[in-house]
Structure 1
């Protein structure tokens, strides 16, 4: 892991969220001494996407000049090794410049080093033959795929499925509407986030590091989703905080205490009248006669639902006893616990 590499990834602008996550995980796997060459299975697992989707985003990163992929083949077995990813900040980096073949219009110049005879040999090679060490065509190119071992040299069939190929066409009205709704919500949040930065006196063109990227936006979303504050209330609290402090906060975490106090005040204001002025005897009777505590099954089911959801899970919420109770009842999986930060 390299902090310089991940910081470089966070500073890149104009990328889609998933594309930026792929770039961040690539940089997280970067070693200053040896470079970056994680397998596609590892990258897809880290990014929680399929390999075909991963290849799409890698192609986008290569197209905008943020990385260059270098295929490697074992000189002994002729099997394909994990791709070497050269990142944009590495010394001597030059972005890939694909040039289509003048005959068929497919591929790069580097992929056309094999002669026509070598390509014919790769296509017509008998089963068990080794692939061409330069182009990777032939029956031995099945090192990382379950697809046909003889990709066509004309269309350069990928070793993974094409995510745009949908053999069963279904109505797209609902997914399209959901995507449009998600885009509208994202645009509305962008407007709100820009208004928040203005209330805090921050320049969007020169934001501090802790205000950049999706981590800052996710932190701000928690004030709304977890604390229950409205966007107008968040802006009001931020404006009041800015009046009390001459310098803007260096990150959203600095406003957590102010947002929590505002949420508590709103909760007390919404409480029924007289709820906080009970007689001392009534309070003592309530302490002597507590309501029945939830059973172990109820506690395990409640926290399992929280772990299996995408809601915010504070650190140290799940104790070892509660973790073992959920696992013994089959309510969660060890993989999901690790993904949510529960050890």
Structure 2
């Protein structure tokens, strides 16, 4: 997930989205790649959200009606087969390029329908947080150093590289939205990596973090 997508999603008021719309939008943001765009398949969204095909369709329709996404569909100029849907997120609507018949996204190599990350390998591996694709499988190892007990989120965020799982990002987004809407949190009960994600991705400013005890 790109920083722009993360920050944009965290700024959307909670009461503007239904639960299913938030889950679908979260996974669209998770598949967003700044240079390649967002091209997850319907099956991928169903698998990751755990929702039915009808629920995902209703969520996508709702998100489009609210102006949070646009869907662009096109066909291959040679085979006439439909290409993967290009999802344009709200924050990029003023800058996004239309997909071209040659590349499918107007910028780089043809993206993988499942990962949306522009991979050209015939092996369709799962997307990773590093390449801007979707959520990482649970068996992948986190490459950053495990924080010790006396580290603060700011200390941990300073370590490079710092990658977060989709579950950690999702929880960090929910905490940030709750705080921004005036809610209170028990900072000690929030896992250190979730607090570190909030700091590393600037989901809350320094004043908001200090007030919430997330330092």
TM-score (norm 2): 0.45
Greater Rg, structure 1 or structure 2? 1
Greater RCO, CA 8 A, separation 6+: 2
With normalisation by structure 1, the TM-score equals: 0.29
Of Structure 1 and Structure 2, the greater helix share is in 1
